[in-house]
A and B are shown apart, each in its own frame.
Chain A
């Protein structure tokens, strides 16, 4: 079973993504910030990481760069809100494979995850 690491400081978002992905047959691991994400990934490399951009402690961009540095194969989908275009662009330059924009449309989330899992 493919593993998806959901990184978001909002518990509600984690909950929703967890439900969506679990129902689609993925195993979900959650992390509430960038530091925790790095820790969880080191314990168990996920097939896909869904990474929120705006988070306290360690934000998504920093976490992305660090993650890619330590694990060059990490496949990261950035989760952004509208209006974060420059941050998304920076993420893409820093090696994020894809991005999705809130509010999430479930099929787009699944599409993005499925694409990287395959």
Chain B
């Protein structure tokens, strides 16, 4: 079938969906190798099949060819004729990689012509020829012939929405009907006619969607016959319920593509897909089709949007600032995201409400009102507005949230390949992949996680013989887990390997001149581990191509701090290591404490505040040249912002009264910040300050407050770092606390 001219929207949809299919295949392949199971085989087969149909429809011949070869091979696996072994999985994974390259080429040039798939397709075909049952180990799990695992609902319209129907008649010439139901139906199918299952989706915001489906049914009747449909004509005629999806079994003598094209006359269809149901329809380019509704693309109707994270404040262009470790495969995150129709509907409603407010406000300018009435009306409108904007904010935030699964799914493959290359036996566990995180944050932590997981497999875990010698199981464990606590998301990468020797870390740090032997002596083991994050530190004895690529944990730390996160490390020598990443739920909006310092408003993110205290002025003590304040049973360093930003920002410290102090969380222990006045808690929207990003240490951006004034946002990590950098300068005098000391 000739290449079809695709519109940009169609191409994007094709890419998004195909990428999902490839991701699914990859994920399932890794599962298949470790756990086996006919369900996984069936699901991979379905993904390959759907991908093939889309590619054929879009005219992507290489993808179609490769998926066809995959399908044939998987069919043998499914029927138990070919065993699952590491060679097979290797080849299938390679196919996944090549498919990715094809998709990348399509994204670049609009076609997959440039990718050579011939060799691999031939290899897949050769694998399909191999005599079966060579390696009994894994093949036993393939469930033998019952691996067909045909869904019970085949051929009925009750199939779960969107689930592709399996064709049992894939193999050329086998021609068996897929179910009894179809056999009955076949009586209604004349010579030259075929049965297709069409799925038609209406744009989510279209009015009277059921009638659009009714129109689609009329089109089907024009071009063939509708055997079954859900909803039925009757259901549409007799109820006013809004149906937005139609599934119909259609008998037609025409090409399904032509029927699909004919649906263009129905307005506001979002997507039409079709699949052959049973019957001799195994021409590779006629398995299934899917695409946006033909004809003029509905303006703004599709439930995807461009670069959700691209405008996220604080987000820098990829690749800027430090070269992070490369991702395992060139799988760019699709730059559209799926948003549930429910969320979009809610947004639409809320915008509608805003329009009402606008009208009410505009009216106030034209109508003669008493001041009293005006005030009352304004109060009403502003009350309504604040409720609506709060809801809008919530809903938009919800739309920005993506489950971590989208990121985590690529790791099992990476760990598998890595373990195979290093000759290690690794069990990789993922927990909490349904935890949701702002999309912009997810993109930023991908590289750091790749780095930490590679580290865990390469450096964390010992070779099997060492493990056995140490009395451990030969198989090492790497666990990636995510969870939600308060306003933060935590992601941990833990291994049960050799752990990190704090003394060795200290020695290396001293050898690298990062600190003096004396200083090293005084470090607590936990503090010593923090040294790993210093630039230029690397404990790896040798450089491997796996993780010793000259990029250290300092880059990991930098990347994570870029999204206002922190990373810490715990290690139990001989038992394992755990990296803990703490991330804010979102980048765009934070809960902050507003404080006033010399007339300037500062916003301190709540998640970096330990507590707020009033400290009697006389309670400051000098220790080692530092002003310190007692906080319960602890004594913590006190810093006056004036010491960092100059006298114009020095908080007044009254010796004879209580002074407000904000205790900040920092990597090196708490730090007390003196301020003039505590204003209160508020949600603030972060705006980056163009042209001065990072120029003032300790300031990450600004926010506009309700009264229109500006607050500077304290970057606690940067601030404490600057304090430490200036630390030595403070010693010997008390800075702005001199008088009180």
Contacts and interface: CB of A to CB of B under 8 A. Distances in A.
A36 interface: no
A115 B296 contact: yes
B267 A85 contact: no
Interface residues of A, number: 16
B196 interface: no
Contacts of A86: 240
A113 to B, nearest CB: 11
Interface stretch (B78-86, B144-152, B211-219, B698-706): B211-219
A92 B208 CA distance: 12
B213 to A, nearest CB: 11
A115 B299 contact: no
Interface in A70-115: 80, 82, 85-86, 88-89, 92, 97-99, 101, 107, 111-112, 114-115
B237 A89 contact: yes
Contacts of A101: 207-208
Given A92-B214, A99-B208, A99-B211, A85 B299 contact: no
B292 to A, nearest CB: 15
Q: Which label, helix, strand, loop or mixed, suits the secondary structure of the A interface?
A: helix
B211 A89 contact: yes
A115 B208 contact: no
Given A89-B236, A89-B237, A92-B218, A111 B211 contact: no
B301 to A, nearest CB: 10
B208 A107 contact: no
Among B237, B240, B267, B299, the one with the most A-chain Cβ atoms within 10 Å of its Cβ is: B267
B720 interface: no
Interface in B680-707: none
B247 to A, nearest CB: 20
Question: What class of interface size applies to chain B in its complex with A?
Answer: 10 to 19
A103 B136 CA distance: 67
Contacts of A80: 208
B267 A111 contact: yes
B224 interface: no
B215 A92 contact: yes
Given A97-B265, A107-B299, A115-B265, A85 B218 contact: no
Given A89-B237, A111-B296, A115-B295, A98 B267 contact: yes
B272 to A, nearest CB: 16
A92 B211 contact: yes
Interface in B233-254: 236-237, 240
A49 B265 CA distance: 16
B296 A85 contact: no
A84 B653 CA distance: 72
Interface in B241-299: 265-267, 295-296, 298-299
B210 interface: yes
A36 to B, nearest CB: 27
Given A85-B208, A85-B211, A92-B214, A112 B299 contact: no
A83 B13 CA distance: 33
Nearest to B239: A85
Interface of B: 207-208, 210-211, 214-215, 218, 236-237, 240, 265-267, 295-296, 298-299
